[in-house]
Amino acid sequence: MDDFLTDQQQAARVRGWVREYAPSAILAVAIGIGGYFGYTQWQVRQDRQAAEASELYEDFRAAIESEDRDSAGTLLESLVAEYEGSGYADHARLLMAKEYVDTTQPSRAEQELQAVIETTSNGDLRQLARLRLARVYLYMDRPEDGLETLDTDVYSPAWRQLTEDMRGDLHQALGQTEAARASYQAALEHSGQIDAAWIRLKLDHLAAVGADEAEAPAPDPADESTPAGEGQ
């Protein structure tokens, strides 16, 4: 029995076990150590890249605040080239779009917002970019494009009020009173960043416009000029 093996026999068994299993055990340990150090190096690299992106973004913000637009443009290009799709690049593009709107360059703002929509992995930032792009289109007198922009995404409840209110503005710009009213009513059904009193004010304005149109006298057919050659 094993309990009664001599020291020499036990030593022989240990040597046999080592010859059979030691290579696998050593390999497993090596893989484990290699995986640990590989993950550590990856994490260090990620942290370093995040720090570099953060520094670039802060320099970009400083350039925007000081109205150094040339430097801001160069820094944005660097952020996009090295960290596109990251939160830093996305926020920088949103800030640059606002700068373009403030300096009456809506077409360039459109480009930056489209880029955020196409490249970001953050759903909230994508929805924010869509809303801002829709407002840029309203400013550019392109409300149809604004509606199309809003209709190509599914909005979470947190964004529904802003989205419906924006739809109302776009429909109103198109003279679509009933559609605008429906959108404003939908906006009132959701809580959000907009004061409900402001939305009701828009509804009151629509009602006043509708009343004015209803009270306007119909044109008198007798006042219409007769085309030349007719009635002779």
Same domain, yes or no: 53 and 137 = yes
Same domain, yes or no: 176 and 142 = no
Same domain, yes or no: 112 and 180 = no
Q: Residue 62 belongs to what H/E stretch?
A: helix 7-65
* Cα 40 versus chain centre, distance: 31
> Once rounded to an integer, what is the mean pLDDT over residues 8-35?
61
Is the residue at 185 inside a domain? yes
Say how far apart CA 165 and CA 163 lie, in whole Å: 5
Same domain, yes or no: 200 and 110 = no
Same domain, yes or no: 76 and 143 = yes
- Count the domains in the chain: 2
Residue 24 reports pLDDT greater than 80: no
Is the residue at 222 inside a domain? no
Is the residue at 5 inside a domain? no
Long-range pairs for 198-206: beta carbons < 8 A, 24 or more residues apart: 199/165, 199/168, 202/165, 202/168, 202/169, 202/172, 206/172, 206/177, 206/180, 206/181
Contact 134, 146 (CB under 8 A): yes
Is the residue at 59 inside a domain? yes
Confidence of residue 85 (pLDDT cuts 50, 70, 90): confident
Is the residue at 223 inside a domain? no
Residue 43 belongs to domain spanning = 22-152
Same domain, yes or no: 99 and 192 = no
Same domain, yes or no: 31 and 137 = yes
Is the residue at 228 inside a domain? no
CATH number of the domain enclosing 107: 1.25.40.10
Say how far apart CA 65 and CA 75 lie, in whole Å: 13
Same domain, yes or no: 167 and 95 = no
Confidence of residue 35 (pLDDT cuts 50, 70, 90): low
Same domain, yes or no: 52 and 128 = yes
Same domain, yes or no: 29 and 144 = yes
Please name the residues in contact with 82: beta carbons below 8 A apart, sequence gap of 6 or more: 52, 53, 56
- Tell me the DSSP string of 18-53: HHHHHHHHHHHHHHHHHHHHHHHHHHHHHHHHHHHH
Same domain, yes or no: 35 and 124 = yes
List helix spans (H) across 66-156. Answer: 69-83, 87-102, 106-119, 123-139, 143-150
Contact 38, 72 (CB under 8 A): no
What pLDDT score was predicted for residue 175? Answer: 95
Is the residue at 229 inside a domain? no
pLDDT in tens, 171-202: 999 999 999 999 999 999 998 889 999 999 99
Q: What is the pTM of this model?
A: 0.72
pLDDT in tens, 92-122: 999 999 999 999 999 999 999 999 999 999 9
Is the residue at 13 inside a domain? no
Q: For 193, phi and psi rounded to 5 degrees?
A: -80, -15
- In the predicted model, what is the mean pLDDT of the chain? 82
Say how far apart CA 100 and CA 109 lie, in whole Å: 5
Residue scoring higher pLDDT (227 or 130): 130
Q: Could you say which of 103, 119, 152 is where a domain stops?
A: 152
Same domain, yes or no: 148 and 161 = no
